[in-house]
Homo-oligomer: A and B are copies of this chain.
Amino acid sequence: METVAPRFTLASLAQVLGGDADGPEDTPLARPASAGDDDPLGVTFAENDRYLALAESSDIGAIIVSHDARKSAKPLIRVSNPRLAFGQLLHMSDVPMRASPGNHPTAVIAQDAVVDPSARVGAYAVIESGAAVGAGAQIFPFCYVGEDCSVGAGAVLFPHVVLYRNVSIGENSRIHSGVVLGADGFGYVWDGRTRVKVPQVGSVQIGSDVEIGANTTVDRATAGSTRVGEGTKIDNLVQIAHNVVVGPHGVIAAQSGISGSTRVGARVVMGGNVGTADHVNIGDDVILAGRSSVGSDIDEPGAYLGTPARPISEAKRAIMIATKLPELLARIRTLEKKIEELESGR
B-chain residues with CB within 8 Å of residue A180 when the two chains form the complex: 160, 176-178, 214-215, 236
Contact A158 B164 (CB under 8 A): yes
Query: How far does the alpha carbon of A307 sit from the alpha carbon of B254 in the complex, in Å?
Result: 18
Partner of A141, one of B126, B259, B317: B126
Whether B318 and A308, one on each chain, are in contact in the complex, defined by CB atoms closer than 8 angstroms, is no
User: Contacting chain B: which of A5-13, A14-22, A112-120, A196-204?
Assistant: A196-204
Contact A162 B177 (CB under 8 A): yes
Q: Taking the complex as formed, is A304 at the interface, i.e. its CB lies under 8 A from any CB of chain B?
A: no
Q: Is the CB of B108 within 8 A of A166?
A: no
CB distance from A331 to the nearest CB of B (A): 6
Nearest B residue to A104 via CB reads B108
Write out the residue numbers on chain B whose beta carbons fall within 8 Å of the beta carbon of A253: 186, 259
Chain B hits for A170, CB < 8 A: none
Query: Are A235 and B186 also in contact (CB < 8 A) when A214-B217, A345-B346 are?
Result: yes
- A1-B225, A239-B272, A275-B291 are known; give 8 further A-B pairs, CB within 8 A: A34-B261, A142-B144, A176-B184, A178-B217, A195-B231, A213-B217, A306-B323, A338-B343
Question: 9 interchain pairs (CB within 8 A)?
Answer: A32-B202, A91-B199, A142-B142, A144-B159, A177-B183, A217-B254, A255-B275, A257-B272, A328-B329
A residues apposed to B, CB below 8 Å: 1-2, 31-34, 37, 39, 42, 44, 87, 90-91, 93-95, 97, 104, 106, 108, 122-124, 126, 140-142, 144, 146-148, 158-160, 162, 164-166, 174, 176-178, 180, 183-184, 186, 188-189, 193-195, 197-199, 201-203, 205, 209, 211, 213-215, 217, 219, 221-225, 231, 233, 235-237, 239, 241, 243, 249, 251, 253-255, 257, 259, 261, 272-273, 275, 277, 290-291, 293, 306-308, 310, 314, 317-319, 321-326, 328-329, 331-332, 335-336, 338-339, 342-343, 345-346
